[in-house]
């Protein structure tokens, strides 16, 4: 396991450029949530010439739809959802300055191209780690599309949120590198 890199948000281009595929990262600061329905709404808003519910420049979007919080909890279980469903929308947001995405699983060539062109990083959080990850979220507030329930856009404050750099700005991909290393078929 590589040494842990600590990153404070916002994720500026300078910070993002230092991250390499395979880096173990602890994120702290503000991040935003969004998944299928919210991404669709955001990209449709842009197409109509409207503003996004938050400025995506130098920000990170976490693909998550948490469970409802129990009394006393900041947020319910909150692990990543599978990222490829956001592939149709991510390039538009990356073009607008989004520098980070947290999810799990493979991304399309179009997303990786946009990441390389505009400078963005794809982080993996461990899928199915919802109970543990929720404990690293210290504040949560719905800021847009409340009608979407678990899919609403939330502003989260995280502290030492564990992620791994899957795809860096150069397009190096841990899924490809890792698989090649252990493949014996």
Instruction: Return the range that interacts with another protein (CB under 8 A); candidates 11-19, 87-95, 102-110, 152-160.
Output: 102-110
Can residue 102 be called a binding residue for another protein (CB under 8 A)? no
Instruction: Return the range that interacts with another protein (CB under 8 A); candidates 3-11, 53-61, 66-74, 152-160.
Output: 66-74
Contact 15, 58 (CB under 8 A): no
Angle (nearest 5°) at CA 128 between 126 and 133:
65
Q: Which is nearer to another protein, 54 or 175 (CB)?
A: 175
Say how far apart CA 140 and CA 22 lie, in whole Å: 28
| Residues 4-33 close enough to bind another protein by CB under 8 A | 22
Q: Which is nearer to another protein, 13 or 135 (CB)?
A: 135
Can residue 126 be called a binding residue for another protein (CB under 8 A)? yes
Can residue 132 be called a binding residue for another protein (CB under 8 A)? yes
Contact 21, 70 (CB under 8 A): no
Q: Which of 4, 142, 143, 177 binds another protein (CB under 8 A)?
A: 177
User: Residue 103 forms beta bridges with which residues?
Assistant: 124
Can residue 182 be called a binding residue for another protein (CB under 8 A)? yes
Can residue 68 be called a binding residue for another protein (CB under 8 A)? yes
Q: Which of 122, 124, 152, 156 binds another protein (CB under 8 A)?
A: 124
Give one DSSP letter per residue of 20-71, joined into a string: -TT-EEEEEEEEEE--HHHHHHHHHHHHTTPPPSS--TT-EEE---PPPPPT
Q: Which of 46, 105, 108, 145 binds another protein (CB under 8 A)?
A: 105
Q: In angstroms, how far is CA 26 from the centroid of its own chain? A: 13
């Amino acid at each position: 396991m590589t040494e842990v890199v600590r990153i404070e948000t916002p994720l500026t281009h300078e910070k993002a450029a230092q991250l390499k595929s395979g880096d173990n990262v602890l994120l702290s600061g503000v991040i935003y949530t969004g998944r299928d329905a919210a991404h669709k709404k955001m990209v449709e808003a842009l197409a109509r010439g409207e503003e996004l519910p938050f400025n995506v420049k130098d920000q990170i979007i976490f693909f998550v739809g948490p469970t409802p919080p129990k009394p006393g909890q900041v947020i319910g279980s909150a692990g990543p959802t599978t990222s490829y469903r956001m592939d149709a929308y991510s390039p538009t947001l990356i073009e607008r300055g989004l520098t980070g995405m947290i999810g799990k699983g493979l991304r399309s060539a179009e997303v990786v191209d946009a990441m390389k062109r505009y400078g963005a990083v794809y982080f993996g959080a461990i899928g199915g780690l919802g109970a543990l990850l929720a404990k690293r979220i210290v504040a949560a507030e719905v800021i847009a599309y409340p009608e979407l329930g678990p899919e609403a856009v939330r502003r989260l404050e995280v502290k030492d949120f564990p992620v791994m750099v899957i795809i860096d700005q150069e397009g190096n991909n841990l899924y490809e590198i890792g698989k090649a290393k252990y493949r014996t078929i």
